[in-house]
Structure formats: C-alpha cells, structure tokens
Structure 1
Amino acid sequence: MREKSEINGLDKNTMNASWFLSMILITSVVMGRGWLEILPASASTEHVAFGQQAREVVHQLTEKVYYVDQNHLQASNENPGTMNAPWLTIQHAADVSLPGDRIVVKAGNYSERVQVTRSGTQENPIVFRTEGAVTSRGFTIRADYIHIVGFEITDTEGVIGSNSRAQCVGVHIEGKGNEIVENNIHDTTCPGVDINAYPHDSAETSFNIVRNNKIYRAGLSGIYIYGQYNLIEGNDISHILQYAPGWINPGSGIDADGIRFFGVGHTIRGNFIHDITFDDPENVNPHIDCFQTWETAIDMLFENNVCRIPKPPPTTSFQFFMVSTEYGPVRGLTIRNNVFISDSVGYGPVNLSGLSVPIEDITIVHNTFVRTGGPGPYAIRITNAINVVIKNNIFYDHVEENWPYLYCDETDRCEGQVTGLDVGHNLVYRSEGLPGGSLWPGDLWQVDPQFVAFSDGDFHLKPESPAIDAGVDEGILSDFEGNVRPQGEGFDIGAYEFPEGPTFMDVPFDHPYHNYIDALYQEGYTAGCNVEPMMYCPERIMNRAESAVFVERGIHGAEYDPLDPIEVDFADVALDAWYADWVHGLWDDGYTAGCNADPLEYCPERLHTRAEGCVFYLRMMYGKNYQPPDPPKGYFKDVDTSAWYADWVDACWEAGIAEPCATEPDLLFCPDDGLTRAVAAYMMVKAKGLLP
C-alpha cells in the first residue's frame, strides 16, 4: 500500500482523475497498450497531465523489470514485457521506459540501432542490461541517466564524408549521467563510444561514465570525448582503424587513435591502449596517438593508464600524447601514475605543442616510460608552454646520445620555450651507452631502476631498486595500483610504489603466483577469502560455485553484479543460495551445461578439476562457442589423448594459459587434480591479458 505522504499535494479531483486513469492504464498495460492510446482525441492538457501522473503512480506500484526476447515464441511489442510475455525489440523498450525501469534483453542477435530519448533520473536510471549473449547495432542516446550494460555492439551504420557520427559509432551520447559499462564494442564504422556536445565544452553533456568496455576495430578512435566531467575508466582499446569499412570519403585528418579528448574536467583512468598497428590493412598511413587533443581541453586527469606503442614501420611515428592548442586553449592537464611502453626505437613522446596560445599548467609526475627495443629519442617534447612540472618519473631508454629525456626544440634547458619549468628527481637510464643531455636537480642519472621482470613487462620495483624513497612529495597519495604513497621513508619514483608488505598475508612477494593473484585483486576481480587479515587462500581447491563467480566476472568485468534469478534451472541450486545468481548467469550465458542432464544439476559444492578449468578459461578467452581443435597433440605425458579433456588441455597449453604441475623429467598437467585458487588466478590473468 502507498503511504499517504506519497500522494500529498493532490486535491480530490486530481486524485479521482488519477485513480480513474490508473485503472484504465492497468488494463491497457495488460493489453500491451500505452495510456495515450485510450484517451479521447479531445483530451485536454490537464487530462494528459492526470494521465501521466497516473502512469507514474502505477509504475511505482508495479514490477519495474521488463524483458525483451526476440527468440521467445510469443514475443511481441503488444505484450506487457514480462519474462513469459516479453517485448520483441529493444527499441520498443526504449520508447516506453520510465525512470527506474530495468530492461533485461535476453540472448539473441538484435539487428537494430536503438534510439534512446526518454530519460531516467539520478536516483532511478533506466538500465538496459543483457542476460546471455546479446548483439546489437548500437545505441544513440539523447537522454539522461541511461545505463547500457553487457552488450556486444557491432556492424554500425555506414557514413559518407564528415557527416554526423551519431549513427555510425558504437554508442553515441548527448546528455548527462549516462553509463556505458562492460560492453564488447567492435567493427564499428566510427569511434567505439562518442560523447558529444555542442559546443564541445557544453555542460549539457556531462558526468557520463564509460567503464570496463572492450573496444577494437573501431573507426578513427576508440573513444571520443566532449562535454564536461566525464569519467573514462578501465577500458581496453586496440586495433583502431584509419579507414574502417563503411566510412566513405572520410576526409582529411583521418587517423587511428586511442582516446581523443576535448572539453572540461574529464577523468581518464585505468585504460589499456595497445596494438594499434600497421599490420591491420585498414591502417594505410595513420599518425597514431594513444591520447590526442587540438582544441579546448581544461582541467583533466590522466592516471593509471597503460599505453603500449607497437613497433611501427621505420618511416612512421606514434605518440603517447599529441596535445596542441591549434584551435583552443589547453591547460590544467595532470598526467600521473601511468605506464608508457614503446616497443619501437622511433619517435613517440608526450608531445605538448603550444600553437595558437601557450599550453598552461601541465603536471607529469610518477609515470614509468619504457622502451623495450633499445634506446630511442626523448620521452617529452614541449614548445610554447607556461608552468610545467616533470618529476618522479622513470625514463628507461627514452634517451639517446644526442637526445635528452626532455626536448624543447634545440634548446638545452628549454630556454624561451617554457616559462615556469620545474623538472627533477627523475630516474634516467640508457641500456646501451650514456644518455644525452644533462641532469636536472635531484635526477638519478644512468641508474638501472631494477624492474621485477623487464622482459615480461613487469615494471614493479625490486626491493633493491634505487627508485625506492628517492622521489619528492608532489601530493600524489596513491600509485598505479591504488597502493598508498609513501610506503617507506619517502616517495618512490615511477608509477609503482614498492609496498612494505604483500596485499594478502598468505601470498608473499616470492610466492610463485604472487603477481597473478595481485593482478586479480588490483583489477577488482577478487577480494580474497578473508578480510581481517586479508588472505587469499591460494592452495584451497575451488568448488564449482566459486568458479561460477570467477568466470562470470571474467566474462562481464570486475564490477559485474548478476540479476537475482526469479527461478533457477538446476535442481541442486536453491534460489536463496549465495551463488544462485552466479550459477544462473553462467547457464544463461551459455558457459555451462551442468554436471548432470537428468535431472539437470550443477554440483555447486563439487571440487573443480584442472581440466575443467581449461574449458572455462578457454571459453572466457575465445567465447562460449569455442571448441578446441581435434585431434589432441599430446603435449602432456599424463593426459591420455582419448580422454574427454585431452583437446581442451592441449588448446589451453597452446593459448598460454595452462600451468604444468611438473616439467621434469616429463611435462605433466595433473588434469584430475583440484584447481587451486592460485592456479585459477594464473589462468584467469592469462586469459584476460591483465598483465602487460
């Protein structure tokens, strides 16, 4: 029953009209019709207002979860949108949704581009969420507080010239408070996500979130950002295309960039930009940048990102940042706790170019710059700037004999190029010969930073690293992984602070799986097995219920929270079991057939074997329909080639996610042994590519 306070302020006539229209509305909803359909043509604005009020009253009294399922035999947009009588199209759901509605889209290939114009509210957003594998042609959102979660978005519309990108991008946003989370966006004609605003720094597009999406083979850039105070976090961006199929006559300036940013106040955090490469035939001659802007970009934070530049042809150049003031001011950029990796020895710096006006107030601190292929030119280039801070960074092979780590167009100390330059306390190392240039105050010069595993891409600091406690206080109180700074007597140089102790008490630094377990924790996939003290229980065997959590989060992302099931499919999974929603999600996503067919059972308490782990993690890596090649190769002596899992174990080994249980005198896998939480962490990190 509704409380009286919820209807205070309505006079008797309004209440009577609302009650009457509510009754009509209930009938029309059951019949699949909206309230406007049953109002007479002569209805006044006052009647319409009463009707809308009635619609909202009924909405508060009825279930707010609706279903779209094009594969359901009775699916129709005339239905009420229940699980047993679902709607046919996502577009219909968008057309009738109200604040607080949760639209659950069941598995299927929905060949529709969804136009969203109805808004939610900050307290009650409208959520479009998948249950199972759902493919669509994307969303154009011209509304506020819309959440898009878990879709595969591909095959967007084509475009000619430089016309509006609203229909050719994966997700187009004009509005406030929208969230695009844990989607797989690929093979789009234009950028994967486009946050648009007119003018480009307008507050009308603001406070949107783009988080934990995988974006690849998108045209022009992975993400394009305008507006104000948007958050771009945890996205994996790769294989961006200069000339994407479907974009006809794209015009000049077409490139293949990671993230293009314009506007005010954005936070760009924890993204992984990699493998934008000339190996893709669509990339003819792009100038590839991880981050780029050339007009208004004010007060933005770039932190905890990884940008990896592949080895290009010798005549091309890549850049970590390409920042210029060609068409507007750039000021207040903070670049901290990032890892910049170049597999090339060519040009590829953070490039700051003041053109129409000077670039102002730039802070570059606590970053790790690494070249993996040998020494190359400078890490940072600056022209025409005011107030620049460059401190506490590691520059590994970003120097040559005639090139310092900071370059200002022929001037040794940036005289005449930068006013208010504060440089120092950086660690500089050249692996072949002496670095060019000269020391700035407090620099550690030609000192090996002592990375944990340079060849494996692990740029954490060893206990003996000279970078530990060698930095200065720049007010940065956490590192790349969120660890508190400082841990010791001073601030460490580089993106990683050396911890005084391990994350989990039972996983010391020298534990063989420490880096993998810690990567799962840092990425938010696990909180361990105990809180105080924090423990992971690495040797504990996982049961099938725990594995459901690992796999579902591996599929959908670290912050995935499955829907509470209305019913469960397995006879041995109680609806109120803590794992019921996870197991139901695993079944609905098509990643498990259970442990028994008649009756259908999951065996949640049964211990997971290492062989079963191969099935789960290979499908996490390649998709639910993956089948390993047959016949098996017989890599492991203890894996009989006639066993049901033989081809899975061999495929696991070829994919680089299998961890042998012994290597001497023979290679062994121990397929029937229990899968420990430590080995599960190893396999999941490998499958997800969480470590560089």
Structure 2
Amino acid sequence: MQSPVRLLYWTILFLIANSVCGFLSSGFAQGGFTYYVAPTGSDSNPGTSAAPWRTIQKAANTLNGGDTVIVNAGTYNERVQVLTPGSAGKLLNFQAQGSVVMQGFNIQTDYVRVNGFEITNTPGSSPTDRTNGSGVYISGNHNEISDNYIHHSTAAGIFLTSSASNTTISGNRVAYAVECGLYINGNSNLIASNDISHTRSVNGIDASGVRFFGSANTVRKNYIHDLKVSDSPGESPYPNAFLTWGPATNYIFERNLIDKDSSQHHGFEIDAPIQPVGDIIIRNNVFISRGTGYNPDVIAGSGGTVTNVTIANNTMAAVNGPAEKAVWLYPNIKGAIVKNNALYDHGISSVPYIQVDSGASGVDIGFNSVSKSDNQAPKGSAYPGDLWMVNPLFVNLAAWDFHLQSGSPLVNKGTTLSQVTNDYDEVPRPQGSGYDIGAFEYFASLAPPSITSFTPITGLVGTSVTISGTNFSGVTAVQFNGVSATFTVNSATAIQATVPAGATTGPITVTTPGGTIGSTAFTILPPSITSFTPTSGPVGTSVTISGMNFTGATAVRFNGVTASVTVNSATAIQATVPAGATTGPISVTTPGGTAASGTVFTINPPSITGFTPSTGPVGTGVTISGSNFTGATAVRFNGVSAAFTVDSATAIEAAVPPGALTGPISVTTSGGTATSASPFVVASPPAGQTYYVAPTGSDSNAGTSAAPWRTIQKAANTLNGGDTVIVNAG
C-alpha cells in the first residue's frame, strides 16, 4: 500500500499533468494551425489529419508560433531538431497522441512546448554527448517540457544549457538516464513534479538524480528515488539526489520527496570548486534514508566556499534503523541556517545529528527535533530550541506519513523564518501560535472546505472566477468540471481561479488536506455564429466567421470537414476552407458546445475554359485552364482517370492516360465536376524509326542495318516513342 506522502505526490503530479494536457488539447487557444504526423503519412502531404506528414522533423521545419502538431501513436526513429522560435503566448506545440516513441528533441530556440512523448535509445556517442544523447536538450528560453517518459538515454535525461532560462520542466518521468536524470543550468527555470530514478554511471561519469548549476532556479515537488549502485554494473558510482560543484546561486529546493536507496548515501552534495556557490534554500522537503551508517541528507562546503545555505523545516527520517549525521557542514561554509528540521534516527553515540567542522562560520543551528528509535542520544548536546529525544508523533511512520498528530511535541515549537512561509502541502505557516517543526504544519482542525458562491456564474475559457467559502487554507487543487485550473488563494475565504482550456459546464471543486467540496455548475457559454464572409468560394478560401463565445474553440468544420483556424477573439475566427469540403453549414465547437451556421457556405464548382494542345497521343502533357481548381480530386479524359498536378486555382497540368479515347476532359473538386465544351482528340502515335545493333557495330555509327550500333545501351539512350531496335544475334 502506498503511503499518504507518496499518494499526495502522485495526486499533485496527476493534476498538473491533466492541467497541462487540458491546455494543450485546446489546439486553437494560441491562434495557430494544427498539423498531424503519423507513421503512415508522407512528408509530401499537407500535414492534415486526413493526409499527415511522416516525420516529426517535417513538423519542426514547418511550424510557426502558435502552431500545434499532433503526433499520432507509433515509433519514429528520429531525433528532432527545433530551430524555429515561437513567441510569448504563441508557442510551437509538439503533442503526442497515444504512445509515441522517438529519439528525443534538440531545442535550440525559444517558446517551444513538448508534451507526452516516450523518448528512448538516443543516438549520443558518449555520456558527455548531451546534444545527441539527452532525451531533451534545451538551449533556449521560455520552453515547456512536460509529461514525457524518458528512459535509457545515453546521456542526461533532460539537459538545460547555460543559455536556458524561464523554462519549465514538469511532470516528466526519467529513468535509467546516464549521469543524471536532470541537468539544470541557466537561470530562472522551474523544475516541478518530475519523477527521477535509476540513473546509471557509464565510463566513470557517476550517477545523480539532479545536477544543478546556474542561478535563480526553483526545484519543487519532484520525486527522486531508486538511485542504486546495482544499476551501473562494473562501475562504482556515488549516487546523490542533488549534486553541484558550482557555479550555483539563488536556488530554492522545496517540497521534494527524496527516497534514498540503501546504496545511496547523499541527498544533497553541495561542492564548490567552481565559484560562486551560495544562497541556497532547502525547505519543506521529505528525506527518507533506507541505509544505516553514513547516510547524510545534506553535505555542503567541500572543495570551496559555500555561502548562505538555509536548511529549514525538512523532515529527515532513517527508516531502517539509526544512521549517522543528517547534515554535514564543511570548514568552507560561510553562513548556514539549520532550523525547524524534524530528524528521526539520525545521529549515534559517536556521531552528532549535525556535524559542523572547525572553520565553518556564520552557522545558526537550533529548533530542530531529534528522535531515536533506540533511545540512544546522538553525540553532543542540544542546540538552543532543540527538542531532544522526543517522540515526534508522526501520523504513520511505517507508511511514510510524516504529518503530525494533535499531541505532537513538534507543534508550535519551531522558530519563525522569513525563508519559510508554508509547508510541504502548501499550508500557510503558522497555523497555531508558532511554526511547527518538520515539513508539515499541523492543522488544529482539518475542517473540509466549503463553497458558498462564485462569480461570475458563466463565462469562457480564461474567465477569472472569484470563489467564496470557508477553510481554503492549504488548497491543493481547483477544478472546473474535472479540469484543473490555475488559482491563487487570497485568503481562507476567497480563491481567484481561471477557467482552464478544456473545461465544460459543470461544478467547481476545491481540494484541501481537509477534503474536497463541489459547487453548483459553472456554465461555459455556448458559441453562436451570426454571419460569415465570404459566403462562397473554392477550397483554400479564407473565411471570417463572426459570432460570440469563440474563446477556446477546439474545432471549425465546413459541412463536417475540419478546417485550420485562428481564433482572433471571442467574436471572430479566421478559417480556411479545407480540402474535401462540400457545400453545407459551418460549425464552431468550444468547451461550451457546438454552433452551426443558419446558412450554408457554398463551395464554388470548377469550370473549364480551355485546354492546350487540343490533340495528342497518349502521354501528351495538357494544360487545362479554368477556375476553382484548388483541391481537385480527379481529372479524366473521356472518363479515363489521368495523372495531374494542380498548379493553381486556374491551371492544371495533366497527362493523357493510356486507354483514353477522343472525348471531353473533366475536372472534379469537392464543389462538383466541370466538363470541357470541346473534345480532346487522342491521336495515333507517329510511325517510329527502326535501328539496329550488332556485335560488329560501333556506337559511332548511324544505327542502320548497314551501319549498326555496338551496344543495346546506345539504343536505349536514343529511342523515342514508336521507335524499334533490332538486336542481331551475338
């Protein structure tokens, strides 16, 4: 049975994944085109759902800002290079549909989103060939990598270069990568809700969950587990959940779950041979140590100066018997706060629960709790404010539920820290008269939330809704009819939420640690079509559709055939008449429903005004002139289908097909069939020449019976239609 902590982690991850997928499923929210890729497609196709491309690279070469490519289920033996940038609000979207297996992305541009792919068997040549070997390699800004399954890569699972910034890495599962699951560099990136396990060492590169460098990055709600020496046969890795050797500054690590295998010693290793390293906050994390003996959760200061490290309100539990120190501060530490941490079974009679080496300076330690299953106190004595040798009264230690019971001595016994404002569950601190010790703040009453009202009661995707009620502290999710929304908790009685893409009419729900409550239905306003212009045209015509409540439109169809569209506003859509469309109504679909036009859009029929030449044998190229040829599906010579190319809306190139007889030419489009007024005369082929080849001939001869050629190849290079070559014995 899974523990409450693990269940909570997966619940949060599921909600974030649903929110991301829901946003992505609204293919037109950014106002771009939607294209398709399938294993049965061809890159010479237009990239529609009916005629998809074959490769994801074709999509990467074609997409512009705001466009989406839906990649259908299948295996794609390609690694995709993305060089074209999107822009703010108009990302390039790569969306997997079903199980899509491929060899990764190399993103060297900005505003790109990658969602839902299985990435494996990357083509890198070594662990340091991250450009080709990482599942996703990012060298740009404002990118989003979410909900992918990356495994057995030949380098780091996801690699951010020093030029990566403002990028979000969320909801990914990374397993059996080489070197590390995530390699963070650059600045102002968010790493959230990823699952990282089973990193391997190859060629002595070692194995970590996350390696971190750069500045101002936030690492939140990730699950690091099963980092095992046994996954690297023939190697001797020293697995760390988090490792840096600098430079690394202004980092926040919060609400992560670090489950250390018995063969993994370190949670955090903060080394500093490359400066600067400092201003690192480690707060509200849960560390589980399965090993005994040497098993610290944080070591800092090896190899160079580390400044201003805060280790606060973490829960650090050794679950298989007493282990040594939980924190080790080396002599190079210049400024460290270690407070409000709940330590269980760390420290033994010969080793303190926190080891501070001589030379470390600016160290402020206290208000930690120390608990031992064997009742043997660690070496040393309590720091100011410490709770020494107490039973923490966790809800269920065996099930990893480190929430505090009502009588826990850790309640209200911490000190106020400006660096910590909430807990692992995002419950605001303090809930009582003071901060609680450990990652979880105790609720005096886990009263369920209630919703008393919300305003407005109707709206579109993107509408800001104020939800009123009670007991909103620690809200973990807000959903509109099951679709997760972004939200801000303004107070214990008010939430501001945004109607998410994909939401449909239904109740609003609010979830807190005290439970989930639903409301009456919030109504997503249905769309309506008031007019469109022009009212007729051939395939490819741009049509402006006017109406209401178009925000979040998911489909526009011409008599049932899906069109590419741009949603200009809540009242205007620009659509292109798709190939295959026939005369009929236009429909617009949004999360609020589907609206159909009251009048039909007429697909203009084709017409033939002439053709040239007017006569010729089979194989003759014929230029057909007329109008409304776009999307032509057939050209026939007196009923016999011909090969053809649509040059434009007014010109088609066709070849007289075998079997054709004298008669009219016809052109068929979705608008109808046009027939020429005059017939095309199929002429008999001209009489051909006869040539000769003989073993005694010469290719410089004329090829006559008296002066034959020497080789049959000469004949093949010379003959025209109707010609014959006689090859003499030899």
Structures share a fold, TM > 0.5?
yes
Equivalent AA in structure 1 for residue 367 of structure 2? H
Equivalent AA in structure 1 for residue 242 of structure 2? F
Following the alignment from structure 1 to structure 2, what is the Cα–Cα distance between the partners of residues 238 and 480? 21
Question: How many residues align structurally?
Answer: 460
**Any idea what SS the aligned residue of 1:354 has?**
strand
- 1:550-608 Cα shifts (integer Å, max 9, x gaps): xxxxxxxxxxxx9946799xxxxx99696999xxxxxxxxxxxxxxxxxxxxxxxxxxx
* TM-score, length of structure 2 as denominator length: 0.59
Following the alignment from structure 1 to structure 2, what is the Cα–Cα distance between the partners of residues 496 and 61? 39
Structure 2 runs not aligned, ≥5 long: 1-27, 451-472, 485-505, 519-551, 561-586, 595-730
Equivalent AA in structure 2 for residue 490 of structure 1? G
After TM superposition, the structure 1 = structure 2 runs for residues 160-559 of structure 1, keeping only pairs within 5 Å, are 160=126, 163-197=128-162, 204-243=163-202, 250=203, 252=204, 254-280=205-231, 282=233, 284-312=235-263, 318-383=265-330, 384-409=332-357, 416-432=358-374, 433-475=376-418, 476-502=420-446, 504-505=448-449, 521=476, 531=509
Equivalent AA in structure 2 for residue 359 of structure 1? V
Following the alignment from structure 2 to structure 1, what is the Cα–Cα distance between the partners of residues 29 and 172? 32
Partner of 1:593: none
Following the alignment from structure 2 to structure 1, what is the Cα–Cα distance between the partners of residues 201 and 303? 27
The answer (yes or no) to whether the contact 2:553–2:591 under 8 Å persists in 1 is no
Structure 1 runs not aligned, ≥5 long: 1-58, 198-203, 244-249, 410-415, 507-517, 540-561, 569-573, 582-692
The answer (yes or no) to whether the contact 1:328–1:356 under 8 Å persists in 2 is no
What is the Cα deviation at residue 215 of structure 1? 0.6
The answer (yes or no) to whether the contact 1:255–1:286 under 8 Å persists in 2 is yes
After TM superposition, the structure 1 = structure 2 runs for residues 564-583 of structure 1, keeping only pairs within 5 Å, are 564=554
What is the Cα deviation at residue 533 of structure 1? 9.8
The answer (yes or no) to whether the contact 1:326–1:354 under 8 Å persists in 2 is no
Equivalent AA in structure 1 for residue 117 of structure 2? F
Equivalent AA in structure 2 for residue 294 of structure 1? W
What is the Cα deviation at residue 224 of structure 1? 0.4
Partner of 1:689: none
- 1:259/1:448 CA distance change after superposition, 3 Å: same
- 1:279-337 Cα shifts (integer Å, max 9, x gaps): 4354731100000001200110000001111122xxxx510011111122211000000
- 1:171-201 Cα shifts (integer Å, max 9, x gaps): 000011111001011111111100012xxxx
The answer (yes or no) to whether the contact 1:430–1:446 under 8 Å persists in 2 is yes
Q: Give me the identity figure in percent.
A: 36
Following the alignment from structure 1 to structure 2, what is the Cα–Cα distance between the partners of residues 62 and 407? 57
After TM superposition, the structure 1 = structure 2 runs for residues 106-125 of structure 1, keeping only pairs within 5 Å, are 106-125=72-91
- 1:536/1:400 CA distance change after superposition, 3 Å: closer
Of residues 112, 117, 122, the one that matches 1:156 is 122
**Any idea what SS the aligned residue of 1:474 has?**
coil
The answer (yes or no) to whether the contact 1:429–1:435 under 8 Å persists in 2 is no
Following the alignment from structure 1 to structure 2, what is the Cα–Cα distance between the partners of residues 347 and 359? 22
Structural RMSD (CA): 3.3
The answer (yes or no) to whether the contact 1:109–1:135 under 8 Å persists in 2 is yes
Of Structure 1 and Structure 2, the greater strand share is in 2
- 1:60/1:400 CA distance change after superposition, 3 Å: closer
What is the Cα deviation at residue 500 of structure 1? 3.1
- 1:194-221 Cα shifts (integer Å, max 9, x gaps): 0012xxxxxx321111101011011111
**Any idea what SS the aligned residue of 1:403 has?**
coil
What is the Cα deviation at residue 350 of structure 1? 3.8
Equivalent AA in structure 2 for residue 500 of structure 1? A
Partner of 2:698: none
The answer (yes or no) to whether the contact 2:116–2:148 under 8 Å persists in 1 is yes
- 1:355-383 Cα shifts (integer Å, max 9, x gaps): 55321011110000000011110001011
Following the alignment from structure 1 to structure 2, what is the Cα–Cα distance between the partners of residues 395 and 132? 44
The answer (yes or no) to whether the contact 1:105–1:134 under 8 Å persists in 2 is yes
- 1:420-458 Cα shifts (integer Å, max 9, x gaps): 111100101111122221110000000011111101111
Following the alignment from structure 1 to structure 2, what is the Cα–Cα distance between the partners of residues 452 and 61? 46
- Asked which structure has the greater CA Rg, the reply is 2
Following the alignment from structure 1 to structure 2, what is the Cα–Cα distance between the partners of residues 163 and 403? 38
- 1:110/1:98 CA distance change after superposition, 3 Å: same
The answer (yes or no) to whether the contact 1:241–1:283 under 8 Å persists in 2 is no
